[in-house]
Structure formats: C-alpha cells, structure tokens
Amino acid sequence: MKKRLLTLISFLPLFINAQISITSSNMPVSGDTCRYSTANVSAVGNYSATGTNFSWSFSLTPTGQDVRKFQASAQTPYFFYFLFPKYGEKILDSVPIPNIPGNPISIRNIYSFYKKVTTPSSFNSEGLGLTMSGIPIGATYSDEDELYKFPLAYGNRDSTTFKLSTPSNTMIPFTYKKQGYRITTADGWGTITTPYGTASCLRVVTTQYSMDTITISALPAGFNKFGFPNYMRSYQWLTTGEKIPYLEVMGNVVAGNFTPTQVRYRDVARVITAMPEEAFSPVISVFPNPAVDELTITTVQQETLVIEITDLQGKQVRQLSAEGQGPVSQHTLNVSGLAKGLYILNVSGKTGRQSLKISIQ
C-alpha cells in the first residue's frame, strides 16, 4: 500500500503540469456570471513571457471589481436582432461621440452577443447591440468573428475574417461598419498563479486588425465619412473551469507596438478600500490614432487636466490645458507639422498621470 501511494505521489506533478485543451464546453453560456477584479497595468509585470510547461506568477492588487453576466437575448433590448441560441453581455453603459450641432447623438446600453457553433466547433461574436438616440439597433456580422476555434491547444494558430455593420435606415443618425481579420495563437502552456489561485492553463494571444467606418447622415457628402484603423490585442490565460480568462491583458496596437490599457483576472468577492493614485485613467478614447492633423481626446474628468505630447526622448512638442466640460469632455490638439512616428500622450491631473502611445502619419 505504501509503495502504491508513493507511486501515485510521484506521478502527481505530471498530471498537474499536463497540457490542457480548450473546447466549446469551457466557454460561457447563457445564465453564467463570472466575477473578476481589475489591476493596474503597471503592476502586471512581464505578461509577454511564454513557453512550454511555463509557470506564470502575478502578484496583483485589485483596484476594482465587476461581474460578467451572460444573458439570454430575450432578456436584452436587442432580442429582435439576436434570436436564440445567441446570448448577450453588457460591456458598456455609454460611448462618447463628437457633438453634432442641431443633431445630438447618444450611444448607450452596449451589448456584445455570442453563439457556440457546432460544425466546425467555434465560439463566435455575433454582433453588437446599442441604443442610438433612443433607438435599439443591432450591428450584425455578415462574416462572423470566430473568437476561438476548437479544440484549442498549444501550437494552434488561426486567422479568420469578419465584417459587421449597423442596418441602413433613415431613422438612424449614422451607420457603423467594421471589417478586418483576427489572428489567434496558442503560444504557451503551464500553470498560472494570481490572487485567485493556481491553475493549469493555455496561453493565447489574439489580435484584431480592423478598419472601422462611421458615416454621419447629418453632415454633407464628402465630409460625413470617417475611417480609422482599430487594432486591439489580448493576452489571455485560459483554463478549463472558469468560463472567462483566468487573466487577461488587453490594449491597443499602434504602428506594431502594443500598449496595455486594462488588466483583469478571475476572482472572488473582495473588499477594496482605496484606489491607488497610479490607477488614474481619465482618457476614454484617442481618435484618430494614427493622426494626421488633429487628435481628439475624450476624457472623464472632475478637474483641470494638462494634456501634452512628447517625443520618445521626452521633449514636449504640444501642450493643452483642458478644462472640464461636464462628466465627459472632448479636447482637440493640433498635430499638423509634427514628424511622422511614435509619440507619448501624457494626461496629468492633481491625482495622477496617464500615458499612452500615439502615432502621427
């Protein structure tokens, strides 16, 4: 009996560190709720390191918490566009957009919709639901975005295309189109440790390369269409039991360079007493990026901000003192005349500083 016990113990590490494979059954379904914590981007450490039988360890301090809720489409405002078996997840309360004199536009209640596909097995993004100036709208894919193809195992690499658009309707103040491709690579496996615990994992990197186009019907032809690249990357550590990534580092890709903007990880309920100053992040969006003549910075602010652009050596090339215009403000910087290349956008206030990479073309 002792000999058998010793034999089992000796083989236990092999089972703990064995490679895992992610299948459709490991994805969320309608009715699932998954709590996560957010952390400061600067505290995540070397998230790009990877390998086989690799041990990732992240000492993270939670700065906030929320719950991802996956709802039946009938429980959302967009049931007409996304019928069963599709299901949705609310991802944003509102999106700030430029003010158009005489024709104010609001975008609220944004949902992302999903579906599990059997043949071939995949987990797909089915579209976006949004309420535009009080009208529920569904932006659907004519070419679906396959987020994962299964079985997903170490060494897999997939490239898929997608095409999404809002419906054309005279009642809708503008149309939104998104077209591009996604590359997903499983580039490592091993174990991951966070404040939530330790688990066997598959490390996945997925990058979306899309061109987004907004056409505003209230503006004259020739001045009513705006196109911009929208490149986003996510480093994910997937496990077989948590439905959402054990850890996820998300951000933007500009001129081939990745800038992380959000870190979140699977977690239990915690009491978070204070938000560290380094979590200061008033910037909602920077548009367009890359920029040519002007850069529009949308902020959530309760104070006066100093917005500056510096080159990579730290020399200031543009500066603006930005007074708050309400809960959400937009500020414009003239970048014409700047040499093409990468710059740093610094946004500073009394409680902290946020820095982002931008590109001038």
Q: What tens digit of pLDDT does each residue of 159-171 get?
A: 999 999 988 766 6
pLDDT of residue 313: 66
- In this predicted structure, the answer to whether residue 211 has a pLDDT above a threshold of 70 is yes
> Lowest-confidence range among 125-129, 172-176, 292-296?
172-176
Query: For position 103, what pLDDT does the model report?
Result: 53
Which pLDDT value is given to residue 255?
Answer: 81
pLDDT at residue 3 is higher than 60: no
Domains of the chain: 16-266 (no CATH), 280-360 (2.60.40.1930)
Average pLDDT over every residue of 337-341:
83
What is the average per-residue pLDDT within 216-226? 73
The total number of residues written for the chain in this structure = 361
Section 287-308 average pLDDT: 81
| Confidence band for 97, pLDDT divided at 50, 70 and 90 | low
**Range scoring the smallest mean pLDDT among 33-37, 126-130, 132-136:** 132-136
- Residue 87 CA to residue 355 CA, distance in Å, equals 36
Contacts of 317 (CB under 8 A, 6+ apart): 309, 310, 311, 338, 343
Segment 210-219 shows an average pLDDT of 80
Name 139's bridge partners: 128
Place of tokens 């970048």: 335
Q: Are 129 and 135 in contact (CB under 8 A)?
A: no
In this predicted structure, the answer to whether residue 317 has a pLDDT above a threshold of 50 is: yes
Q: Which of 70, 166, 87, 69 is nearest to 126 (CA)?
A: 87
* 15, pLDDT greater than 50: no
Q: Can you give the pTM of this predicted structure?
A: 0.72
Residue 301: how many CA atoms within 13 Å on its side-chain side? 27
pLDDT on residue 172: 67
pLDDT at 246: 98
Q: Which residue has the higher pLDDT, 259 or 103?
A: 259
Confidence of residue 273 (pLDDT cuts 50, 70, 90): low
Cβ atoms of 174 and 151 within 8 Å: the answer is no
Q: What percent of the chain has pLDDT over 70?
A: 86
Tell the burial category of 30 from Cβ atoms under 10 Å away from its Cβ (0-12, 13-18, 19+).
middle
**What does the pLDDT read at residue 85?**
94
The pLDDT value recorded for residue 95 is 66
**Residue 18's pLDDT is what?**
80
Residue 191's pLDDT is 96
Residue 278 has pLDDT above 60, yes or no: no
The per-residue pLDDT for range 131-154, each reduced to its tens digit, is 877 888 899 999 999 999 999 999
Of the candidate ranges 54-63, 216-225, 255-264, the one whose mean pLDDT is the lowest: 216-225
Distance CA 145, CA 116 (A): 12
pLDDT at position 8: 40
pLDDT tens digits for range 39-89: 988 889 899 999 999 999 999 988 889 999 999 999 999 999 999 999 999
CB neighbour burial string for 37-53, b if at least 16 within 10 angstroms, e if fewer: bbbbbeebeebeebeee
